[in-house]
Amino acid sequence: MKKLVIIGLSSLFFLSACGSDEAKETTDPANGGEASTDNTEVKKELMRFYMEVPNTINETDGELNAFEQQLEEGTLPEGEELTALKEAAAVSAEETSQAVGTIEIPGALEEETEELQSALAMISESYDLKVAALSEEETSFDAASEKFAEADSVFNTILEEYELIPSSIQNEVK
């Protein structure tokens, strides 16, 4: 529930930022005075796409989140319970990696396709790293977190290019 509130507020904030530019229409002397595109539609598509990423992740990473929360709190069970918890988290991480791989980039973002595909691949790889970490005796998600942070950086660079406020997908999937 907390995730939904955060995602809702984030999307409202970003869409309102996009909407404030909607009424602006400028003329471009280079085009003979024709109205230039102010990227409003691209901004809207970018924000829809950006919000689709954590929504997609949140659909499949519940078991992984439960494991990570217990790991963070130091309340992991032992023995067979721990093994079962790790297995469920690994399945969740695998499903999340696959789900991220199915996210389609809208045509309106064609100029950013290569960078967005790269960021999605990094997120998918971060979940693959979590799967690998879950098979180890001492589970550490440091490498996965670093990879996810790289993806966040790519997304933030694109958001800033379109004069949108940078955010963190990683904060929205916890």
Do residues 124 and 147 touch, judged by C-beta distance below 8 A?
no
Position 25 scores a pLDDT of 43
pLDDT tier, 152 (very low <50, low <70, confident <90, very high otherwise): very high
Q: What is the pTM of this model?
A: 0.78
Work out the burial of residue 163: count CB atoms within 10 Å of its CB; fewer than 13 is exposed, 13-18 middle, 19 or more buried.
exposed
Residue-wise pLDDT tens digits, 75-102: 999 999 999 999 999 999 999 999 999 9
Position 174 scores a pLDDT of 73
Helix (H, G, I), strand (E, B) or coil at 165: coil
**Alpha-carbon gap, residue 131 to 160, rounded angstroms:** 32
Identity of the amino acid at 51: M
Question: What are the distances in angstroms from CA 107 to CA 49, 50, 134?
Answer: 11, 14, 37
167 vs 13, higher pLDDT: 167
Report CA torsion sign: 106, 108, 114, 119. Answer: negative
Q: Would you say residue 51 has pLDDT above 70?
A: yes
Position 37 scores a pLDDT of 54
Burial 67-97 (b: 16+ CB within 10 A, else e): bbeebeeeeeeeeeeeeebbebbbebbbbbb
Question: Once rounded to an integer, what is the mean pLDDT over residues 126-151?
Answer: 96
Q: Would you say residue 58 has pLDDT above 90?
A: yes
Please report which helix (H) or strand (E) contains residue 47, including its range. helix 40-60
Residue-wise pLDDT tens digits, 16-36: 454 544 434 444 444 444 434
Question: Once rounded to an integer, what is the mean pLDDT over residues 105-133?
Answer: 96
What integer best gives the mean pLDDT of the chain?
Answer: 84
Question: What are the distances in angstroms from CA 128 to CA 27, 58, 106, 113?
Answer: 48, 16, 25, 22
